[in-house]
Structure 1
């Protein structure tokens, strides 16, 4: 009986021990480890114990020469500062304890926390700008929770120190929950919500945990609806951050297990799958380094197409070869797996987040190699000249105007668009355009012939005035290239790249002044690449370019009215109807009797004043049009509607009639040297300019058109020139008057 009792007692003890252990192990799902345990963990931590600072493999160890103040910035890097203030050093120490069970790493980590908190316990008085940055607060919460988890279950833990760390975590939780610190503009908000819901799940006994959990979930769902298109495309212009945000949402949903959040996540996964290239690589758009695909274990749910790409075709459902995501990004593949090619086109311009000057750019890969490449992320140091360069048009496969890139600014958001996407059994046709350069409209048409694996690019640059244009192509690292003739290059020993319109070409490779021909695939690392720059100039510049992926290459590529003519080296020819883009309309004023513009050759043009047709005509073979137009009032909006010759396509543009009519010559009633007054009448509310020699005096007429100027140095016999200037800048004829 005693023996049975002992066995029963042992079983009960084992049962409760198992439950306790299971609970502790399960709590690890609420932890985010910002660094992972590895064979190097102890060696890294030992150097930290030796007084060195270490925050990331991206940066080397740093040995302070004096006691740390938490203001250190040895690499003059905002990223290093963010990691440092995040207490990422603490994560490496916890890694080492997890690997070795040596408590010296925990004790050092505890002292590190106390050192940091001694100068940063008051959010209003941080040691560094990044100390209470939204991203930093989230990261530091992750690191503190990871450390707490192992410290609290170690042999060196004390209740006093546990309470000390929990109090710090409570403050972090309140900051994460606060709208004052919450970031709705960037992906930092997702980091905050993940850290907040993980805290609430790890410490369910806290009075605020249930409230914080609900807030984190609701904010995440609101954030997703703002940051993703209805098709699930992330709007931050970077597949790398698309992946990061999906991981954050997945982590949140592992705890929340929310139906709405699950559906949003599945939609995002499906969109991500449609971005992945044919060789199962992540395209390097915007701020994207070389990146491995996500792991299936990262998610509790998987979209079937997403599962296919992240398992490299081992399971799931194969996505379509041709994808269009929200009329912002299109991907064309000729298969999945080895010996395949991909072309990605982007007109994505939702915001400035992780955006580069890459509107209408493309990337092209063949058999796992980047043939036409993107510049890459490099780093976030905005004072670094290479970082600046890699965000310009020069580092992307686009058209550049007048030797200048354009700024990544809120004012340019939405000025780029994909206007047509046509996927047929024989071909894919994509058209896009942007108006980011002032006074210039840039059009790009891409035609892909599926059976021949040929890509054709037509670029059109239209403006009222002449501009220098550069059609830029960046060749991938290590891609063999040879010049066959001034307009033809052989790439990767198999791709014929040809310019079919007359232009001069300039080649660059790692030029430092000015910077041209560089790219990056790894953070803080840059390398030289070949860059081809085809140059031309004019008001209407056309480039016709072909990329042939087999021995049967393009010999001729031209446009005849609304049809592209493509002649191949084997004697075959193709005709492809070009979709209509937005018509380009030259400036028209209240003095003009002719409306000029450019569209598809042979297109029919209707000029509408509201619903009334006021003029019509047809473009010539090359697309130019001149239409007789009745004189129009300044400020009137005219809608120019174009219809393709075959009546298949229609597009339109609105132009506003400019004011080019000068005001009437003003009258001058008085010009007295005694009163020093010049007065008269003109149109109401316009500027009046009186010139006396080299001096000009100005005033504004009142609502009746009366004006009065006081000129202190007005003398008898002076001749004044008085004119009127309206809000459009038109200046009247001058009235000459002698001062009496």
Structure 2
């Protein structure tokens, strides 16, 4: 026994300059939480039920929903971490005494039970962090632990370390990083034991590997969720500080610069409300004080595009590297305007994949994409290259993203999304197969919206008190339209999203169904307007002039300019632009100059006095027209610009200023 105690004494007296923690409560919040837990109110997480026990021995029999999550957090010693925080603030030994009592009870409980939740990667890693944090505080406080407890704890920590080190227990996601952090910290407590080299070297090797594997080449976390991007960043950032202060070197010399790029992309993902879209397993959380980055950005390796203006925020994604936290959301988009959520994603709800509500939340029906034959598709690493961003163009007025989702067996789906800034989306969808299928276009609209009308191929809604209204128009009339709002019965679940963990909210779900077809081509036109204030940046008009397999020709009117764009797979270019008309009077002659921009243009003009057409000037090469005044009144004009090569490329402006003559 003496050799074990002596070895444990070296563990107990370990000197660290910095310690990793499970929770970071400070100030009065830490005191209030610690006092409540000390009084036997077992708090684990804001989304989990808080229980009160008569005796601390009852803790390990507690149950809560979701069951798996509750048990994992319970056996992670989450509540004991708050007692650690309480001691840090108050230096009151009673918190350390209570922690010791609870750990002793758990050690006895663990000897009798073999729960899957006790020996699970997440719970073992975080329990190790809490226990080593406790030992660190005991050393600082000179809080004596008796020999019998030391032996029990020492043997348990050996078991924890071996579990964390064993490759068969390791998982290549943020849980693996948690295991590496815990193993590294534990190894420093075992520095003078035979386990140190194995644990220390294994943890550092895997940490370096995790830094490479956790993020794509464009520095987005691979776990398919903005929330896990930031969560993984925090795990690494805290670890970086731990490494520096404890004078531990890592082989990756770009460790901190990589984290800086990851953090910058966290900022890129924030919308105008300083929160994330609920993509993948993400819950609502705000990050105030960071500011909004208003320029569009594409992360092709991650399959994520974020298209932005000062007032608009749109995401569209397709593709994955890791299946962790992956939803059936390929080619799905979200859209908010002036901070108002319009087309939404479904969020997380919980992690119980046997729960029918969770199954719906991750399903293709809960995302703004395309469903084939009413089913989800297969998600595995082998098929990852079948969903991706294939091309993109970012420009001043128009962004274009092309994506594919070929994960449905025998079906190829291509989506081209045009974002005509700041308030119009045009989506071109093409589904191709050698066999007949039912194709469904799915649109999920925010809970706070009020549906104004739903027709075949068209619907409109407004968001109360925001002045925002939306009209969606589908070029191909569907065979059937299904509308759902919070529907839950024995046959189906439809029309839900989750903002907070464990909570479900109804939302609007619209399905356009195209039945029994081998192929299908659809154009969806979405126009957003806000009547609360005049906004010159909003499009006044948007029209498709021509569309074929290679090119889309588009007319827009914005900020007193009329523009025709030619949009290809790799380029957005101006065909022509009308910037207005200059009017000058020289005696009895009105001189007009149409301000057109482009190659091989010709111009025409109608003169109106008191809204009556007085003279029509035919198309000519010169943009200058002279009109001799013959009567008095209010003079205005209609101006025309067109391409000589293709007369269908034409701009007409009937909103020129008037002058009195």
TM-score of the alignment, normalized to the shorter chain, above 0.5: yes
Report the equivalent of 1:32.
Answer: 21
TM-superposed deviation, 1:380? 0.7
TM-superposed deviation, 1:153? 4.1
Q: Is the 8 A contact 2:295 2:307 kept in 1?
A: no
Distance of aligned partners of 1:319 and 1:173 in 2 relative to their CA distance in 1, 3 Å threshold: farther
TM-superposed deviation, 1:168? 5.4
TM-superposed deviation, 1:528? 0.5
Do structure 1's residue 413 and structure 2's residue 400 form an aligned pair? no
SS at match of 2:498: strand
Report the equivalent of 2:413.
Answer: 442
Range with bigger deviation, 31-40 or 397-406: 31-40
How far apart, in 2, do the equivalents of 1:38 and 1:116 lie?
A: 29
TM-superposed deviation, 1:529? 0.8
Distance of aligned partners of 1:161 and 1:554 in 2 relative to their CA distance in 1, 3 Å threshold: farther
How far apart, in 2, do the equivalents of 1:557 and 1:372 lie?
A: 26
How far apart, in 2, do the equivalents of 1:277 and 1:161 lie?
A: 55
- Where relative contact order (Cα < 8 A, 6+ residues apart) is larger, the structure is 2
Q: How does 1:340-379 map to 2 (within 5 A)?
A: 340-379=311-350
Report the equivalent of 1:329.
Answer: 304
Range with bigger deviation, 168-177 or 260-269: 168-177
Range with bigger deviation, 323-332 or 374-383: 323-332
Report the equivalent of 1:130.
Answer: 117
1:457-506 CA distance string (max 9 Å, x none): 11111112222221111112313442286514144424433223222433
SS at match of 1:420: strand
Q: Is the 8 A contact 1:278 1:333 kept in 2?
A: no
Report the equivalent of 1:476.
Answer: 446
Report the equivalent of 1:720.
Answer: none
Q: How many residues align?
A: 530
How far apart, in 1, do the equivalents of 2:146 and 2:374 lie?
A: 66
1:401-430 CA distance string (max 9 Å, x none): 122223444564332121111223442211
How far apart, in 2, do the equivalents of 1:510 and 1:558 lie?
A: 39
Relative to its length, the structure with more strand (as a share) is 2
How far apart, in 1, do the equivalents of 2:545 and 2:302 lie?
A: 26
TM-superposed deviation, 1:377? 0.5
How far apart, in 2, do the equivalents of 1:372 and 1:562 lie?
A: 28
Counterpart selection for 1:140 from 123, 127, 138: 127
Do structure 1's residue 179 and structure 2's residue 173 form an aligned pair? no
SS at match of 2:499: strand
Distance of aligned partners of 1:323 and 1:278 in 2 relative to their CA distance in 1, 3 Å threshold: farther
TM-superposed deviation, 1:556? 5.2
Do structure 1's residue 91 and structure 2's residue 85 form an aligned pair? no
SS at match of 2:137: helix
Report the equivalent of 2:204.
Answer: 217
TM-superposed deviation, 1:434? 1.6
Do structure 1's residue 505 and structure 2's residue 481 form an aligned pair? yes
Distance of aligned partners of 1:361 and 1:354 in 2 relative to their CA distance in 1, 3 Å threshold: same
Q: How does 1:32-431 map to 2 (within 5 A)?
A: 32-34=21-23, 36-37=25-26, 39=28, 41=30, 44-45=33-34, 48-49=37-38, 51-63=40-52, 68=58, 70=60, 72-75=62-65, 77-120=67-110, 127-154=114-141, 157-158=144-145, 160=147, 163-164=150-151, 167=154, 170-171=157-158, 174-175=161-162, 178-180=165-167, 182-201=169-188, 208-209=195-196, 212-257=199-244, 258=250, 259-293=253-287, 311-312=290-291, 320-326=295-301, 328-335=303-310, 340-410=311-381, 412-431=383-402
Q: Is the 8 A contact 1:434 1:441 kept in 2?
A: yes
Structure 2: state its 5+ residue gaps. 1-12, 245-249, 529-537, 571-661
Do structure 1's residue 559 and structure 2's residue 547 form an aligned pair? yes
TM-score of the superposition, structure 1-length normalised?
0.65
How far apart, in 2, do the equivalents of 1:385 and 1:484 lie?
A: 28
Report the equivalent of 1:457.
Answer: 427
SS at match of 2:70: helix
1:682-705 CA distance string (max 9 Å, x none): xxxxxxxxxxxxxxxxxxxxxxxx
How far apart, in 2, do the equivalents of 1:38 and 1:389 lie?
A: 41
Q: How does 1:623-662 map to 2 (within 5 A)?
A: none
TM-superposed deviation, 1:356? 0.2
How far apart, in 1, do the equivalents of 2:30 and 2:257 lie?
A: 38
SS at match of 1:414: helix
Q: How does 1:482-521 map to 2 (within 5 A)?
A: 482-483=452-453, 486=456, 487-492=458-463, 493-503=468-478, 504-513=480-489, 514-521=492-499
How far apart, in 1, do the equivalents of 2:303 and 2:258 lie?
A: 19
1:671-692 CA distance string (max 9 Å, x none): xxxxxxxxxxxxxxxxxxxxxx
Structure 1: state its 5+ residue gaps. 1-23, 296-309, 581-740
TM-superposed deviation, 1:205? 5.7
Range with bigger deviation, 72-81 or 344-353: 72-81
Distance of aligned partners of 1:144 and 1:209 in 2 relative to their CA distance in 1, 3 Å threshold: same
How far apart, in 2, do the equivalents of 1:483 and 1:161 lie?
A: 73
How far apart, in 2, do the equivalents of 1:42 and 1:225 lie?
A: 39
Instruction: Answer with 1 or 2: which has the greater Rg.
Output: 1
TM-score of the superposition, structure 2-length normalised?
0.72
TM-superposed deviation, 1:444? 0.5
CA RMSD of aligned residues (A): 3.3
Report the equivalent of 1:13.
Answer: none
SS at match of 2:256: helix
Distance of aligned partners of 1:455 and 1:78 in 2 relative to their CA distance in 1, 3 Å threshold: same
